[in-house]
Structure formats: C-alpha cells, structure tokens
Amino acid sequence: MQYPSPPNQQRYYEQVWDLARQVPYGRVVTYGQIAQRISAPAGVDPQEYKAWSPRWVGDAMAACPDDVPWQRVINAQGKISARPGAQRQRRLLEAEGIVFVNDKVDLKRYQWPGPGHVEEPRQATLF
DNA sequence: CGCTTGACCGGAA
DNA sequence: ATTCCGGCCAAGC
C-alpha cells in the first residue's frame, strides 16, 4: 500500500510522542485518538488528515524515543497491531494490570481519558 | 536511480 | 461477524 506523510514529519511525530507520554500507567489510547487530538498541519485537507493521520501516529510510534510509553498505544479495535514485538507489548500492558480477552482489551474500561474502570454493578448496602 | 514497504480507520459489501 | 477498499508520501535497500 501507498500513503502520504505529514508535511514536517518530525514535528508531527513530536506532537504524537508528547501526547503518548501523558497516558497514565494502566491505561491505553488508540492511534486515531491521538491523531484527533492533533490539529491538521497547515496545508493538509481536513478530510485527508482524517483519513491518514492514524497511520501517521503509527509511524511516529515506530520511531519513538525510549521515554515514551509506546505500549499504551493500541488500535481502535482494542487490539495490539500485528508486528514483531506485539507479544512484548501485550506482556507490558498485562504487567500494568490490563486484562486481555480474545486478544482484545475493553476500551470502555482502559481507554484514557475516561473513568478508568467500570464500577461493578453493586447492590445497595442494606442495613 | 527504481522498487518496496509501512504501530490505521471507518464505511461498504 | 468478516473481508475489502480508499486514502496516495518518504525512508531504506
């Protein structure tokens, strides 16, 4: 497949890394989510930005500095994108307390920002 | 130089 | 639920 890159790629990547660094321990974000939080670079058609930016975020993550918690960025299906190293990513997330069911995490529960975890339905404590 | 190859996503079939 | 499709640049070999 063939796809465009952002103008000023390096600066775009840095914006991605800055956002990724804000994801707390035990939480995840999606590529598209990070892309949405970065405004389309000047000269990029909004429609085109919407189409390609999630991939750009993926490209940025592939080249991220060591201080970025790269393991917390996953795809919009709640899965780890296939590649060599995917298994290591899963281990790191599990070590943060994240549970995988059928190779997928519950985004409602772990996606950041958000509540952080879904309270179990609890019966009112009766006296 | 000319290939090849990419951490994605949403809508349609 | 699953597969297919469009989106059309730049780094590395």
What are the boundaries of each domain within chain A? 9-110
| Rounded-to-integer distance, Cα A78 and Cα A102, Å | 10
Instruction: Give me the CA A36–C1' B12 separation in Å, rounded.
Output: 23
Q: Which residue is nearest to nucleotide B11 (CA to C1')?
A: A51
CATH 1.10.10.10 correct for A9-110: yes
**Per-residue model confidence as pLDDT tens digits over A50-98:** 999 999 999 999 999 999 999 999 999 999 999 999 999 999 999 999 9
Angle between helices A46-62 and A9-20 (to 10 degrees): 70
Q: How confident is the model at residue A127 (pLDDT cuts 50, 70, 90)?
A: very low
Strand C bases within 7 angstroms of protein beta carbons: 6-11
Establish whether the CB of A30 is closer than 7 Å to any nucleic acid atom in strand B.
yes
Nucleotides of B under 7 A from a protein CB: 5-10
Which residue, A34, A123, A101, is CA-closest to A72? A34
Mean pLDDT of A22-26: 98
Give, in order, the Cα–Cα distances in Å from A69 to each of A7, A41, A122: 25, 24, 34
**CB proximity A58–strand B (7 Å threshold):** yes
Q: How many CB atoms lie within 10 A of CB A66?
A: 5
Q: How confident is the model at residue A117 (pLDDT cuts 50, 70, 90)?
A: low
Closest nucleotide to residue A79 (Cα to C1')?
A: B7
A109 touches strand B (CB under 7 A): no
